[in-house]
Chains A and B, each alone.
Chain A
Amino acid sequence: MTYTGQCACGAVHFTITAAPIAVRQCWCRRCQKMAGGGPAHNAMFPTEALTITGPVAHTGYTADSGTAIHWDFCPTCGTPLLAYAPVARPHLRAVRLGVLDQPNDLAPQMVIWTGEAPAWAVFDPAIPQYPAAPPAPAPKAN
């Protein structure tokens, strides 16, 4: 399984050599700001599966939970690239779906933070919706 991608100006390139752990659509207010007014779409990959080339700019914030979140974007075109929690979840990188080359087999599997969505938002009725953060994943069976 390999995904490739790039930012809008082509300065940043992606190669991802694993399947995503989850793909989510997020309507939290901060994502709406970053995503031009609609939801963010994030595919969660194992950190070690990701190779990025090109200049990357960083921003970040502290979530309500106290977790430090980093956001990376292309300094040349502003394209949102990644979100991650380097201390709390160093093994995961959330790749913004827009940078991945199409066609691909990725689609959101759940909609989160519908409680912060604007009144005009429409959600795919075929996938689960959560008003805020999604429930924690079930513990591994083994």
Chain B
Amino acid sequence: MPAPYTGGCAGGAVTLHIAAEAFGASQCWCRNCQRICGGGPAHVAIFKAGDLAISGALRTATGTADSGNATHLNFCAACGTQIHGGSAAVPELLAVRLGALDEPHGLSPKMILWTSEAPPWAVFDPALPQFATQPSGPAE
């Protein structure tokens, strides 16, 4: 499904509009993603931050990645829905939660990250490349 994308939180207080195409999408089983995503993996699509327009109140949780870079996770203040996150290392990009995009958006995960932290019952799509941690590179 081509851009633009629309979306929002579970409660409807936050809406988003994304003007341009995603760079890719992934599934992440790192322990922190499991915590903020109800016990399963996170699913994100990467967009240019400048292509996002958001209305409604977001709250931000800041943290530090293993790399030392500052991270920020942004969720709806009213219902907690995770909307997007990013890293100080790549401020021009934002990882938008696939759950926050309206269906049908046509985006799907193309790789699976942090399988080493997945619970024993996790099932992975055998068609996708898997990484025990994350692929090496500049991104978080």
Contacts and interface: CB of A to CB of B under 8 A. Distances in A.
B13 to A, nearest CB: 9
A34 interface: yes
A71 B36 CA distance: 14
B40 A59 contact: no
Nearest to A38: B40
B84 to A, nearest CB: 10
B80 A78 contact: yes
Interface stretch (B16-24, B47-55, B94-102, B130-138): B94-102
A17 B33 CA distance: 25
A36 B42 contact: yes
Interface residues on B, range: 35 or more
A122 B112 CA distance: 13
B12 to A, nearest CB: 10
A99 B39 CA distance: 7
Given A73-B79, A107-B121, A80 B36 contact: yes
B109 A120 contact: yes
Contact of A8 (B61, B98, B125): B61
B113 interface: no
B123 A123 contact: yes
Interface of A: 7-9, 25, 29-42, 57, 59, 61, 71, 73-80, 96-100, 102, 107-108, 118-120, 122-124
Interface of B: 9-11, 27, 31-44, 59, 61, 73, 75-82, 97-101, 103, 108-109, 119-121, 123-125
21 contacts: A8-B32, A25-B40, A35-B38, A35-B99, A36-B33, A36-B41, A37-B42, A40-B39, A41-B40, A59-B10, A75-B59, A76-B61, A77-B36, A77-B75, A78-B73, A78-B80, A79-B35, A97-B40, A99-B35, A107-B120, A122-B123
